[in-house]
Amino acid sequence: MRIPVLLASLTVTLAAQSTSAQSTTSPAAAPPLPYQDRAQPVEARVADLLARMTLTEKIGQLTQINVTRLMGQNEWDRGPLSERWLDVVLGEHQVGSLLSGGGSAPVPNTPEAWARMTNDLQRYTLTHSRLKIPLIYGVDAVHGHNNVKGAPLFPHNIGLAATFDVNLTRDINALTARALRATGISWNFAPVADVGRDPRWGRFYETFGEDPTLTAQLVVASVQGLQGEKLGPATVAATLKHFIGYSVPQNGRDRQPAQISRESLQRVHLPPFQAGMKAGAATVMINSGALNGEPAHSSRGLLTELLREELKFPGLAVSDWEDIARLQTVHKTASTYQDAVRQALGAGIDMSMVPNDAPAFTSAVKTLVENGSLPLARVDEAVRRVLALKFELGLFEQPYVDPAAAGSAVTAGQDLALRAARQSMTLLKNDSELLPLKGRRSVVVVGRRAVDPRSQLGGWSIGWQGLPENEDIPAVTVLDGMKQVLPKGTRLTYSEDLSAALPANTDAIVAVVGEAPGAEGEADNPGLTLPQEDVALLRRALGSGRPVVAVLLAGRPLLLPDDVQRGLRALVMAYLPGSEGGRAVADVLYGNTSPSGRLPFTWPKSVSALPMIEGATPGQNAQALYPFGTGLSYTRFQYAGLSVQGAGARQTAQVRVTNSGQVAGGHTVLAFARPASGGTAGGERLLVGFTRVTLKPGETRTVALPLDLTSLRVAAPGQAVQSAELSVGELRTALPTP
């Protein structure tokens, strides 16, 4: 199996081949073996190939290793690929999948270098694979191709959700798929389908917020964007993660146990996964935590009975990072690593994101199969899913990419990033219409986050924990953006900490505050607190007596001290708006764009009100500082003539929307249903439909709102909802019961 190839010569060969030859088989010659015949159905190709494979080759297909293991000598080295580790991982152990976990980039981190690296790895794999089975490479492109310098970084999902824009979400994902594929990556560990119900959790910003209906629709749009109409050589496989129950750790901390009732699982957590599966998502990633006392990674109930037998998911289930080992080291359901592997694969995991020690994983599987503790049929089933995915993605036919084309594909999309960031801006407070700042002659911008893009980019931006301090990428900061749009004859001053005296005629202060970037457990924020230095800055700004607008760069609701909250004249929730975020903020501050984002979560008054979900219990909104859907505008939208057509779970509401203000603006119409009798949901208001419109001043349009009323059915387990009411703004109408 070992065929030593000198990496230097390998790279040279690749450079010559990867730009021209895109195929492993010559189009003129008849494919020698059935599995190499692209005219055969995928199932037949898989069956043919599987029958030819040795146990070692099969196990290799179930193994995923982080690319840094192949760089240098140590696990986390970055730099040139190491001949020794290529040989161990791709040669000896026949590993069939690699990933770049956050920050695992080639040096230098350029689109071309990514393409060359994946080509090199693919070439090595194909040279050392007896049956020429290509590698599948995965990354977390959770807001654009976010590991690569030069790629536009889109708002993180929490901000994207505030746009309520399904088409925009699809377009962003389609663009991301093109960028990924141009760098040789055909598997994206996205979208996050977890419903964000606890803002203390470090991954809240990766979710589409608290609502299952909104989450489901944006998950579907993401899958459609990434996978296109059908998987193929121009698309990437999507991953619904993290199955299931990851987003509500009981203590709000990442990877801590969750308790979820069957009813809540059905009504809240499963719908986005079900919708994503229906849309054809190719893979799922498993929840690292424990649900109702059982680690998801060893749960046959979740991974086989629920995922396969009930939900009929046909795709690939990949573990999360090192989570099989964690069955032994953290959850302690296994006493040895080998037993952990037996539990996980036996429960239904197909591929292990190992991610470092290939020999340990492959030898454990081998021993288990040989001593009969793991049926070969289970291994074969998992291998079939991996091979099917590789065939569907066209990897056998087009394993390489053209490095010269990577740059333009990766850097495209700044306009889309700007549009998304603009649409996400959510105006929460605007006392006496301080905003827009158009008429203000002298504005002072304060706070280091106005000049440092790290907060607006958030985690998963070049580095796992965000843009490393010593690195730089093209990004428009808030100060940059404000300079770009500064109206003639007005003055803009920047002060990091307000230590110097304000210019005498200062008529507004823009304070840019927020959270440091972070990811996963490092980003947990148990008190929903704004860093002390930012609170102090806001107090200094308020102490000046000038009107203050705060721009919040954060992936969750943060609780400002009462005096600060009261003192601010305006508050703009900018979320983590990405590389064009500063310009989007500036456009909203100066009124070039009327803000149109609406909160995709409930903003609590205090941590003691958590969990804090739109209308979860009657009267709960009294505890909300800003209810779900809050979002002010520079214009006014009025509704009239609400009606509903149709029957059953799919109905359509219609309503006339008029922009009765002075400026053009975008607006999302939200339709809620409330069971009036029957059901056990305590009168919970459920989002059942939404539509976004853009209207000129004075314009009226009748908009259609497709309603999905399935949640109303589940809202009443064992008891039919007898009647329900639909509300759009202040308008109400009876809803034919679903």
* Active site members: 320
By the rule CB under 6 A, 102 interacts with ligand NOJ: yes
By the rule CB under 6 A, 273 interacts with ligand NOJ: no
Nearer to ligand NOJ, 289 or 629 (CB): 289
The least distance separating ligand NOJ from the CB of residue 569, rounded to whole angstroms, comes to 39
Q: In a 3-state reduction of DSSP, which class is residue 621?
A: helix
The least distance separating ligand NOJ from the CB of residue 286, rounded to whole angstroms, comes to 10
Judged by CB under 6 A, the residue of 165, 198, 210, 320 near ligand NOJ is 320
Pairwise CA distance, residues 182 & 637, whole Å: 43
Size of the site for ligand NOJ (CB under 6 A): 9
The least distance separating ligand NOJ from the CB of residue 205, rounded to whole angstroms, comes to 13
- For residues 687 and 737, the answer to whether their CB atoms sit within 8 Å is no
Draw the binding track, 285-314, toward ligand NOJ (x: CB under 6 A; -: no contact): x--x--------------------------
Phi and psi, residue 634, nearest 5°: -90, 0
DSSP string, 244-274: TTTT--TTS-TT--B---HHHIIIIIHHHHH
Nearer to ligand NOJ, 101 or 600 (CB): 101
The least distance separating ligand NOJ from the CB of residue 269, rounded to whole angstroms, comes to 16
Nearer to ligand NOJ, 102 or 271 (CB): 102
Q: Is the C-alpha dihedral spanning 498, 436, 574, 492 positive or negative?
A: negative
Nearer to ligand NOJ, 197 or 242 (CB): 242
The partner residues of 549 in beta bridges, in order of sequence, read 510, 570
By the rule CB under 6 A, 101 interacts with ligand NOJ: yes
Q: Return the residues of window 495-524 that contact ligand NOJ according to CB under 6 A.
A: none
The least distance separating ligand NOJ from the CB of residue 598, rounded to whole angstroms, comes to 27
Q: What angle do CA 151, 173, 234 make, to 5 degrees?
A: 90
Residues 6 or more apart whose Cβ sits within 8 Å of residue 30: none
Q: Return the residues of window 698-737 that contact ligand NOJ according to CB under 6 A.
A: none
Draw the binding track, 117-146, toward ligand NOJ (x: CB under 6 A; -: no contact): -----------------------x------
Q: What angle do CA 619, 623, 626 make, to 5 degrees?
A: 110
Beta-sheet pairing, 624-626 with 637-647? unpaired
Nearer to ligand NOJ, 71 or 644 (CB): 71
Number of Cβ atoms within 10 Å of the Cβ of 30: 8
Nearer to ligand NOJ, 202 or 225 (CB): 202
Pairwise CA distance, residues 345 & 319, whole Å: 10
The least distance separating ligand NOJ from the CB of residue 321, rounded to whole angstroms, comes to 4
The least distance separating ligand NOJ from the CB of residue 429, rounded to whole angstroms, comes to 34
Radius of gyration of the chain (CA): 26
Nearer to ligand NOJ, 211 or 320 (CB): 320
Nearer to ligand NOJ, 10 or 237 (CB): 237
Nearer to ligand NOJ, 323 or 587 (CB): 323
Judged by CB under 6 A, the residue of 189, 208, 396, 601 near ligand NOJ is 189
The least distance separating ligand NOJ from the CB of residue 504, rounded to whole angstroms, comes to 51
The least distance separating ligand NOJ from the CB of residue 102, rounded to whole angstroms, comes to 6
The least distance separating ligand NOJ from the CB of residue 343, rounded to whole angstroms, comes to 19
Nearer to ligand NOJ, 520 or 587 (CB): 520
The least distance separating ligand NOJ from the CB of residue 194, rounded to whole angstroms, comes to 10
- For residues 17 and 399, the answer to whether their CB atoms sit within 8 Å is no
Residues 6 or more apart whose Cβ sits within 8 Å of residue 685: 614, 615, 672, 673, 674, 727
Distances (CA, A) of 234 to 56, 174, 394, 714: 30, 10, 9, 38
Phi and psi, residue 264, nearest 5°: -70, -35
Q: What angle do CA 620, 624, 628 make, to 5 degrees?
A: 95
Q: In a 3-state reduction of DSSP, which class is residue 346?
A: helix
Residues 6 or more apart whose Cβ sits within 8 Å of residue 226: 173, 174, 176, 177, 188, 190, 191, 235, 236, 237, 238
- For residues 671 and 654, the answer to whether their CB atoms sit within 8 Å is no
* Among the listed residues 705, 706, 689, 593, the one whose alpha carbon sits nearest the alpha carbon of residue 657: 705
The least distance separating ligand NOJ from the CB of residue 117, rounded to whole angstroms, comes to 17
Which tokens go with 666? 């975008």
* Among the listed residues 280, 291, 191, the one whose alpha carbon sits nearest the alpha carbon of residue 241: 191
- Terminal alpha carbon distance of the chain: 61
- For residues 599 and 573, the answer to whether their CB atoms sit within 8 Å is yes
* Among the listed residues 167, 254, 171, the one whose alpha carbon sits nearest the alpha carbon of residue 207: 254
Draw the binding track, 240-259, toward ligand NOJ (x: CB under 6 A; -: no contact): -x------------------
List, in sequence order, the alpha helices (H) in 522-580: 532-543, 562-567
Nearer to ligand NOJ, 112 or 140 (CB): 140
Q: Return the residues of window 203-242 that contact ligand NOJ according to CB under 6 A.
A: 241
Nearer to ligand NOJ, 287 or 477 (CB): 287
Nearer to ligand NOJ, 245 or 403 (CB): 245
Residue closest to ligand NOJ (Cβ): 189
Under the phi-then-psi rule, with left for phi > 0, alpha for psi from -120 to 50, and beta for the rest, what region is 575? left
Distances (CA, A) of 389 to 96, 205, 385: 12, 29, 6
The least distance separating ligand NOJ from the CB of residue 562, rounded to whole angstroms, comes to 36
> Burial letters for 111-138: b for 16+ Cβ neighbours within 10 Å, e otherwise?
bbbbbbbbbbbbbbbbebbeebbbbbbb
Judged by CB under 6 A, the residue of 313, 321, 601, 637 near ligand NOJ is 321
Residue ranges binding ligand NOJ (CB under 6 A)? 101-102, 140, 189, 241, 285, 288, 320-321
